[in-house]
Amino acid sequence: MTNQGKTHEAGFMTSPAEPVAANFLGAEETARIAENLAAKYGRAAVDFASARAQRANEVGDELAHAAWHAIRDATSELLSRSPWCYV
């Protein structure tokens, strides 16, 4: 596997670039989605959100890329604060 398009930092996949657009989701909606993903996928939720952000970036969807990037960050933060709650 090459590192083209993917990087691994701190144990999870990150999107290849910072979003150009601003996250159109509000903070509450971003947090709600992060909580739902963590509840459903546990620690794998960060990789799930990262993959979505990467795919949005690949297809040129700047709004989705920004949203999934923010969701990934919120999910990572949530899991770092409460890792025992989301196995």
Residue pair 50/13 in contact by the 8 Å Cβ criterion: yes
The verdict on residue 25 lying in a domain is no
Question: What residue ranges in the chain does DSSP mark as E strands?
Answer: 7-9, 12-14
Quote the domain boundaries for residue 61.
43-87
The verdict on residue 2 lying in a domain is no
The verdict on residue 3 lying in a domain is no
The verdict on residue 62 lying in a domain is yes
Structure tokens at 84: 């025992």
Reported as a pLDDT band with limits 50, 70 and 90, residue 7 is: very low
The model's pTM? 0.74
Would you call 70 exposed, middle or buried from its count of C-beta atoms within 10 A (0-12, 13-18, 19+)?
buried
- Give strand pairing partners of 7: 14
Q: What is the pLDDT of residues 12-67, one digit of tens each?
A: 444 456 766 787 889 999 999 999 999 999 999 999 999 999 999 999 999 999 99
